[in-house]
Structure 1
Amino acid sequence: MGIRYYAYAFDAELAQQAINDPHSILSSDPLADAWGLEPHARSSVAVFEQVPPRCDMLYLDKAWSALQALTRPGPGGLASESAYRMFEGNVTMHGLGWEPWVRVILPEEVPGIRDQLREVDEKRIDDWARAWRSPHGATDEEERRYVLHYLERAREFVESLAAEGRGMVYLIG
């Protein structure tokens, strides 16, 4: 199935709860939420429509690693790490499984992320696409379209969070 990215919004008054227990903000079955499956069912039919409203959940499929590379600070990267914090992280592998990466983004951090995501323009994406090699075997143009699609979804989600003064908890796993 692969490692995927899921983010859930929370209202500002739940910030301390998110810090204390990020899993209390996350769904118990994020893939079911993303694909329109019956939660925790052994067998279910996917409708491939996200269940929670787009302003409450962001699903980035497997594009998170490409978005990490695109927003990574440093030479040729963004000037600071605000946007990168939204995609940073990786699972911890062990035996036949992994521990997911979970991070809380507080409401006050969201405007900086929003502003940096706005700065990612076509030139930066084209420069990134020339250097990126998809781990999934996609062509450069297929990968570019895939990443652009999910970058736009991330921008819309963060714009909504910023407008409403909300934060988010994300899980890579």
Structure 2
Amino acid sequence: MGIRYYAYAFDADLVQQAVDDPHSILSSDPLADAWGLEPHAAMSATTFEQVSPKRDMLYLDKAWSALQSLTRSGTGSPATGSCYRMFEGNVTMHDMGWDPWVRTILPEEVPSIRDELCATDESEVRLWARTWRSRHGADDADELRYVLDYLRRAQKFVESLAADGRGMVYLIG
């Protein structure tokens, strides 16, 4: 199925829980949440509609690696590194598959991430995309649409988090 990105919002009163046990903030079946499946079912029909409210969950499919590249500070990146923290990380591969990457973003970290991420516009993404090549073989125009769609979703999500004083826990896995 591939490695995907899922983020779940938490309220400020759950900061200590999110730091001590980030998995307690995550769903036990994030793909089911993202695709509208019955959780933990061996067979289930999908609605392809996210079950969790968009203010509570961000699903970035496999676009996380492109957004990671886009937001990593350095030559060709419009970002200075603050919003990279939202996408940083990778799974740890081993014989039986992989161990996911999990990170907690505290409510006080969200405004700087939001400011930088929301300042990234389509023209900057188009400049960055000239050097980005997907590992999935999509053509450049399709890849650009895909990345822009998920960038906009991420921007809306962090805007909502900042407005509500919430943090997030994300999983790449």
Task: Tell me, in whole angstroms, the C-alpha distance in 2 between the residues paired with 1:168 and 1:101.
Answer: 14
Aligned to 1:5: 5
Q: Report how far residue 80 of structure 1 moved.
A: 2.9
Aligned to 1:31: 31
Task: Tell me, in whole angstroms, the C-alpha distance in 2 between the residues paired with 1:121 and 1:88.
Answer: 20
Residue by residue over 1:30-71, the C-alpha shift from the partner in whole angstroms, topping out at 9 and shown as x without a partner, is 000000000000000011000010000000000000000000
3-state SS of paired residue (1:155): helix
Paired residues for 1:58-77 under 5 Å: 58-77=58-77
Aligned to 1:92: 92
Q: Report how far residue 124 of structure 1 moved.
A: 1.4
Q: Does 1:82 align with 2:102?
A: no
Return closer, same or farther for 1:79/1:147 CA change in 2, 3 Å cut-off: closer
TM-score for the superposition, normalised by structure 1: 0.98
TM-score for the superposition, normalised by structure 2: 0.98
Unaligned runs of 5+ in 1: none
Paired residues for 1:140-155 under 5 Å: 140-155=140-155
3-state SS of paired residue (2:60): strand
Task: Tell me, in whole angstroms, the C-alpha distance in 2 between the residues paired with 1:52 and 1:79.
Answer: 29
Alignment RMSD (CA, Å): 0.9
Q: Count residues in correspondence.
A: 173
In terms of mean alpha carbon deviation, does 119-128 or 145-154 score higher?
119-128
Task: Tell me, in whole angstroms, the C-alpha distance in 1 between the residues paired with 2:67 and 2:21.
Answer: 26
Q: 8 Å contact 2:32–2:39 — kept in the other structure?
A: yes
Q: Report how far residue 79 of structure 1 moved.
A: 5.2
Q: Report how far residue 78 of structure 1 moved.
A: 4.2
AA at the equivalent of 1:148: L
AA at the equivalent of 1:96: M
Residue by residue over 1:113-160, the C-alpha shift from the partner in whole angstroms, topping out at 9 and shown as x without a partner, is 110012212221111111111111101110000000000000010000
In terms of mean alpha carbon deviation, does 84-93 or 117-126 score higher?
117-126
AA at the equivalent of 1:98: W
AA at the equivalent of 2:57: M
Q: 8 Å contact 2:72–2:79 — kept in the other structure?
A: no
AA at the equivalent of 1:53: P
Q: Report how far residue 76 of structure 1 moved.
A: 2.9
Aligned to 1:160: 160
Q: 8 Å contact 2:11–2:166 — kept in the other structure?
A: yes
3-state SS of paired residue (1:47): coil
Task: Tell me, in whole angstroms, the C-alpha distance in 2 between the residues paired with 1:79 and 1:152.
Answer: 15
Task: Tell me, in whole angstroms, the C-alpha distance in 2 between the residues paired with 1:143 and 1:127.
Answer: 13
Aligned to 1:169: 169
Q: 8 Å contact 2:6–2:57 — kept in the other structure?
A: yes
